[in-house]
Chains A and B, each alone.
Chain A
Amino acid sequence: MAYSEKLLDHFKNPRNVGTLDKNSTNVGTGLVGAPECGDVMRLQIEVDPVTKKITEAKFKTFGCGSAIASSSLATEWLKGKTVDEALAIDNMAIVEELALPPVKIHCSVLAEDAIKGAIKDYQTKNGVQTVESIAASH
């Protein structure tokens, strides 16, 4: 299977690898996947309390090259976005950007889930209506 240059670049030089303080109220953590499935993604965001923009994003991923590249790309995209803008990130945009082959689409889904998980955690901590509760009220 031949991978795209962009995917290989994110895999070899992953952006924003690391850990934020998960106990900080400004930090939201999304942990998705399972070791038995071969992928675990942890994605964290730090939100500026005043501007509500994402100022920092970090990840660590256990998984294949596509999973690592998808989460690396996601952290790049998150920085500078507002929470609402971040919620609009769609997995298919990741698929397109990295030219993921069909068998690897689940890696992009996982990245989207990790973004949503991180935002939900942040919103819960800060007493904001979560994604699900907003959707449910509609």
Chain B
Amino acid sequence: MGQRLIYLDNNATTPTDPRVVDAMIPYFYENPGNAASRNHPFGWAAEQAVETARQQVANLINVDEREIIFTSGATESDNLAIKGVFEMYKRKGDHIITVKTEHKAVLDACGKIEKMGGKVTYLDVNREGLIDLGELEAAITDKTILVSVMWANNETGVIQDMKAIGDICAKHGVLFMSDATQAVGKIPVDPKEVGIHLMAFTSHKMYGPKGVGALFVNRKNPRVKVTSQMDGGGHERGMRSGTLNVPGIVGFGKAAEIAKAEMHEDAERLSKLRDKLEHALTSMLEESYVNGSRESRMPHVTNISFKHVEGEGLMMTFNQNIAVSSGSACTSASLEPSYVLVALGLGDDLAHSSLRFSLGRFTTEEDIDETIAKVAEGVNHMRDLSPIWEMYKEGIDIDAIEWTEH
């Protein structure tokens, strides 16, 4: 019996939309040129294709096409924004503010800033995964040059109050950067409307190809500049050298065009399926908890902890045909569970017990029904095996036991 594969790990990456692949193919064959070759038809065709894509990407987020810098992905964009701003504005100040639940691309870039002599404040989040705006404002000093807050969290889908953060940054004359990787193409994202000056995002989270991303850099009021982190031929207005990934960029543009047209419909459909999944699992399985805000959240994501069950073990009960991810330590080489869930105030035990389900454009109701059945079966199986579930059922206080940490 061949098993149908079900993909609910769209926050890791999305499958490429066939319409995107179709748009890319000519740029491998008929039009193989380098967009920087200014003196022949191959180069002209490539340059034209890149500029069309730049327009499509700019349209998706409602900015000028000259404000889009193509990169290799959101990690590079995050690095370019943070390190580029730090180097460009160091005479003005050396302080950056970010959040504990940011993606590693932001946290590790900030770690590098600290090694370079800069200062970084890492804001806490509350149980909902949201920052405290008062704390943000209090953290701003006359040395602060940048605030970096992600639009939507990759693990929980929690959306920060971007407009309120933008207002605070504007009031204090501080640049506002956002890693919007998980939000762009899935919900309306308009950086100018909320006062963002730099914004990182990527193609492969919105049904485009991997290996291409963008950094939005505000051109007017204020005109923002970043020091290039990749030096070479002076491509992308001198901010990012390197031959442009023409087929990738074309695919990114097409993905942006499709997202703009279909995002509302996708979001509405997916939020219903997500709610069905979440409701079914939390009502069928006692001691299951949704992590992070349910009000301010992406429509396609739910992160659920199933108490007294370890996430990786649980995944093994169904991962022959269902793909999800877990905040359990066992999915990484370290013994630390998800730092994002720990920052939300979950105990390590609940963080170990979490699964993230992220739906996408190609998720069907049949997928959700099968997932509900398999996950519920898996949780029950693992609880039958779990000594701490047995203790919990016997009314033993698990927190009172002296565990032998190893």
Question: When the two chains form their complex, are residues B316 and A35 in contact, meaning their CB atoms are under 8 A apart?
Answer: no
Kindly state the separation between the CA atoms of A123 and B151 in the bound complex, as whole angstroms. Answer: 59
Q: Is the interface of B mostly helix, strand, loop or mixed?
A: helix
Kindly state the separation between the CA atoms of A21 and B312 in the bound complex, as whole angstroms. Answer: 30
Contact for B406 among A17, A64, A110, CB less than 8 A: A110
Contact for A37 among B309, B386, B387, B405, CB less than 8 A: B405
Mark each residue of chain B from 304 to 340: 1 if its CB lies under 8 Å from any CB of chain A, else 0. Answer: 0000111011001000000000001110010101000
Question: When the two chains form their complex, are residues A113 and B406 in contact, meaning their CB atoms are under 8 A apart?
Answer: yes
CB neighbours (8 Å) of B384 from chain A are: 17
- Among A17, A33, A35: residue with most chain B CB under 10 A: A35
Question: When the two chains form their complex, are residues B312 and A33 in contact, meaning their CB atoms are under 8 A apart?
Answer: no
CB neighbours (8 Å) of A19 from chain B are: 390
Contact for A68 among B385, B389, B406, CB less than 8 A: B385
CB neighbours (8 Å) of A34 from chain B are: 403-406
Question: When the two chains form their complex, are residues B313 and A36 in contact, meaning their CB atoms are under 8 A apart?
Answer: no
Question: When the two chains form their complex, are residues A62 and B333 in contact, meaning their CB atoms are under 8 A apart?
Answer: no
Question: When the two chains form their complex, are residues B390 and A60 in contact, meaning their CB atoms are under 8 A apart?
Answer: yes
Q: Which A residues, 61 to 75, have Cβ-Cβ distances below 8 Å to chain B?
A: 61-65, 67-68
Beyond A35-B388, A40-B388, whether A64 also contacts B313 by CB under 8 A is yes
A96 to chain B, nearest CB (A): 21
B347 at the interface (CB under 8 A from A): yes
Kindly state the separation between the CA atoms of A39 and B385 in the bound complex, as whole angstroms. Answer: 12
A35 to chain B, nearest CB (A): 4
CB neighbours (8 Å) of B316 from chain A are: 3, 11, 64-65
Contact for A62 among B329, B335, B347, B386, CB less than 8 A: B386
Kindly state the separation between the CA atoms of A76 and B201 in the bound complex, as whole angstroms. Answer: 52
Q: Which B residues, 353 to 371, have Cβ-Cβ distances below 8 Å to chain A?
A: none
Kindly state the separation between the CA atoms of A41 and B310 in the bound complex, as whole angstroms. Answer: 12
Question: When the two chains form their complex, are residues A60 and B387 in contact, meaning their CB atoms are under 8 A apart?
Answer: yes
Contact for A42 among B328, B387, B398, B406, CB less than 8 A: B387
Task: Report the contact-size class of chain B (Cβ under 8 Å from the partner).
Answer: 20 to 34
Q: Which B residues, 364 to 406, have Cβ-Cβ distances below 8 Å to chain A?
A: 382, 384-390, 398, 403-406
Kindly state the separation between the CA atoms of A3 and B316 in the bound complex, as whole angstroms. Answer: 10
Q: Which A residues, 27 to 85, have Cβ-Cβ distances below 8 Å to chain B?
A: 31-42, 60-65, 67-68
B349 at the interface (CB under 8 A from A): yes
A109 at the interface (CB under 8 A from B): yes
A125 at the interface (CB under 8 A from B): no
Question: When the two chains form their complex, are residues A60 and B330 in contact, meaning their CB atoms are under 8 A apart?
Answer: no
Contact for A35 among B335, B349, B406, CB less than 8 A: B349
A134 at the interface (CB under 8 A from B): no
CB neighbours (8 Å) of A106 from chain B are: 335, 406
CB neighbours (8 Å) of B333 from chain A are: 103
CB neighbours (8 Å) of B382 from chain A are: 62
Beyond A17-B384, A38-B329, A64-B328, whether A109 also contacts B313 by CB under 8 A is no
CB neighbours (8 Å) of B330 from chain A are: 38, 63-64
Kindly state the separation between the CA atoms of A130 and B327 in the bound complex, as whole angstroms. Answer: 39
CB neighbours (8 Å) of A38 from chain B are: 310, 312, 328-330, 335, 337, 348, 352
A18 to chain B, nearest CB (A): 10
A34 to chain B, nearest CB (A): 3
Question: When the two chains form their complex, are residues A61 and B312 in contact, meaning their CB atoms are under 8 A apart?
Answer: no
Contact for B386 among A11, A36, A61, A113, CB less than 8 A: A61
Question: When the two chains form their complex, are residues A109 and B389 in contact, meaning their CB atoms are under 8 A apart?
Answer: no
CB neighbours (8 Å) of A14 from chain B are: 385
Beyond A103-B333, A110-B406, whether A65 also contacts B386 by CB under 8 A is no
Beyond A32-B404, A36-B347, A109-B406, whether A64 also contacts B312 by CB under 8 A is yes
Beyond A19-B390, A62-B388, A109-B406, whether A35 also contacts B313 by CB under 8 A is no
Kindly state the separation between the CA atoms of A110 and B404 in the bound complex, as whole angstroms. Answer: 10
Question: When the two chains form their complex, are residues A62 and B403 in contact, meaning their CB atoms are under 8 A apart?
Answer: no
CB neighbours (8 Å) of A39 from chain B are: 310, 406
Closest 10 CB pairs of A and B: A34-B403, A36-B348, A35-B349, A60-B387, A42-B387, A64-B330, A65-B316, A64-B312, A38-B352, A62-B386
Chain A to chain B contacts (Cβ below 8 Å), 5 pairs: A31-B387, A35-B398, A39-B406, A106-B406, A113-B404
Chain B positions within 8 Å of A, measured between CB atoms, are 308-310, 312-313, 316, 328-330, 333, 335, 337, 347-349, 352, 382, 384-390, 398, 403-406
Q: A11-B313, A65-B316 are in contact. List 14 more A-B contacts (CB 8 A).
A: A11-B316, A33-B404, A35-B388, A37-B335, A37-B405, A37-B406, A38-B352, A39-B310, A62-B310, A62-B389, A65-B313, A103-B333, A106-B406, A109-B406
